[in-house]
Amino acid sequence: LMIGQVVAGYAITRKIGGGGMGAVYYGEHKTLGRPAAIKVLLPQFSNNPEVIQRFFNEARSTGLIRHPGLVDIFDFGTLPSGEAYLAMEYLQGEALSSRLRRTEKLSRDGILHITRQLALAVGAAHNKGIIHRDLKPDNIFLVYDEDLAQGMRAKVLDFGVAKLTDHGGEQNAFQTNISAMIGTPR
């Protein structure tokens, strides 16, 4: 992906993060001016149908849930170059993992505030038959929210390895191979 390139109506202005499977860019919608985070799957993974299915699973999962404790995904697709992308809500704040490294100890009230929000978000996912399977401090983002008592909202990120079930608990087409290692084992 190149700076200046337009993805789903968003002009890419800079890289803001990345990991082992993808990179995240800041984009601004050309007409609306709305900011977005554009997550792009690395080229070496964009040829693997199973990886692409899991990547797009993130968009489908969060689209089914619609909860303030989850990042909102606006669009997804494939770039002309072949890489898969997600266009999602741009969050300002920090990952819980960063906060934990920076802060010696969270207050009791802070821990309860974050835990309650996570329970509500994950509970909303479970009510839709979706199991996150990679809940960890790196996948919890803290954003400023003046409407909440603690002034922050915890948002659950990265439903890329989520399991979708029907409401009776049976797996659907996004079945995981029994021997597959997913999520973050540690």
Catalytic sites, residue numbers: 134
Element (H, E) at 63: helix 49-65
Is 9:22 a contact under the CB 8 Å cutoff?
no
3-state DSSP call for residue 36?
A: strand
C-alpha–C-alpha distance, residues 111 and 164, integer Å: 29
3-state DSSP call for residue 14?
A: strand
C-alpha–C-alpha distance, residues 86 and 106, integer Å: 32
Is 144:151 a contact under the CB 8 Å cutoff?
yes
C-alpha–C-alpha distance, residues 137 and 83, integer Å: 27
